[in-house]
Structure 1
Amino acid sequence: MKLPFRSIGYLLASLVMTLLQSSCEDVIDLGLNNAAPKLVIEGWVDDVAGPSVTISKTTAFTADLSENPQQVLSGATVTLTDNYGHTAVLTDKVTPGQYRVEEAANFLGKPGRTYTLKVEADSQTYQAVSTMPIPVPIDSVGTVTSDIFDGERKGAGLLFTDPPGVKNQYRYEVWVNDVFLKTIFIYNDKYNDGKTITRELIDFEEDDDDKKIVIGDRVRVNIYNIDEAVYKYWFSLDENNPGSAAPGNPVSNISNGALGYFSAQTSQQVELIIQ
């Protein structure tokens, strides 16, 4: 999925081409100025792999994406603190722009705790707060099939029981034969609180027959329990596709105008062979 600010650039470029083709005499100046770059923070802490934060800057729509697709930001001061007073410092010593702790096992997330991410960069301070939910275990996994207008689609089906009386939000990452699916899979229990749920993860966005899920494919699913603010980020990102009438930036839980998100999340993984 493309970021919204790039989508605007593509729409404007199409408009320019249309106007130029319709008139060879008039010189049209749309007055498109490059907006100041914004900080993009994509961070999480989970109960399996610990914390990870990637920091970059947006590029202007007039930039050459083939030469500089993303401007990473190195040298920021990044700290993560929980509500029990534990603090970890993340650095990008190994890979510029990718901030990690030296020993991830020393700062694994714990369900029920609240984590505060603080980033100091370019003389600005950015903060985000996220509470790690209690994990909801998967009871079983199997193949699901859906018949739609262009034929049969297959995918992974997850069976689980949603805990009653608690707001639960879920996000799923899906790999097929080790290839990551870009489709955003999210779910909340607004209409199914406390019920047994079968979550069908079928990629309806893929039109290439060679890339559709078929019998024999190996599917891996990462399941994340996320808080409500992070769910809103992924929901707005999913809604903000290039075909939106008024594309904009997804809702962020990070302060001071930064883009992106910070998620304290539980993580579990399942695998299956499509039948």
Structure 2
Amino acid sequence: MVKLHHTDLGGAGKPPMLLLHGLLGSSRNWLSTGRDLAKEFHVMALDLRNHGKSPHAPEMNYEGMVDDVIGWMDAQGLSKATLVGHSMGGKTAMLLACRHPERVERLVVVDIAPKNYSWAAHRGEFAAMVELDLASLQSRQEAEMRFEARVENLGMRKFLATNLERAEGGGWRWIVNLPALAEALPLMEKNSLNTEDRFDGPTLFVVGGRSRYAEPSDHALIRTHFPHARIEVIADSGHNPHMDKREEFVRLVVGI
């Protein structure tokens, strides 16, 4: 088990809410949205293992990440919380809710479904990161330029570069555990749930209308695991509805 780092975004004394980021993200992805949610909840954004300020570990799988979150809750004295997870964090949240339903007050899953994926774009992104020569790198802007051959989207190139930080001695290093994540990518693509996994508590799926991660054809599958799921589509949003349409996202989550 890894002892996770977290960022407290406010709302102490209110019902606890935990925010879980996606692959190559961190608690920083939730700062603005988390502070908005803190009007109704005590919001804590976690860095999952091998991400952000949390420790690195050679193992990278959903069961291990669930154990980390449960261990963090135990250390904080939290018996139960509302769980909000985006993408990889959503897969982790789904598994935790199914295996430890007594620890989850409400479940919010953001733009991901309980199915297998084949993330061809992620393979190009990881290749770009692995190929980056850190020894000769001068700036994050230069890293973004070098990513161009593999990563078409400018926003994604900027996002990848946020995982770079200055190392001791003035060079650059990856914040994420890049070797472990690159090796685990095929596993991260797989469905985190087994056929029999089920959570009967209040559940909200928030889907980006311009995203292909959770589509109408997935709704029946979602309800086999989460029979009380409410599925809300934010029409003019991509894979990050908590960033693209923050106000609407917060309204939906607060109303669960």
Q: TM-score, normalised by structure 1?
A: 0.29
Query: Greater strand percent: which structure?
Result: 1
Greater C-alpha Rg? 1
Q: TM-score, normalised by structure 2?
A: 0.30
Query: Greater helix percent: which structure?
Result: 2
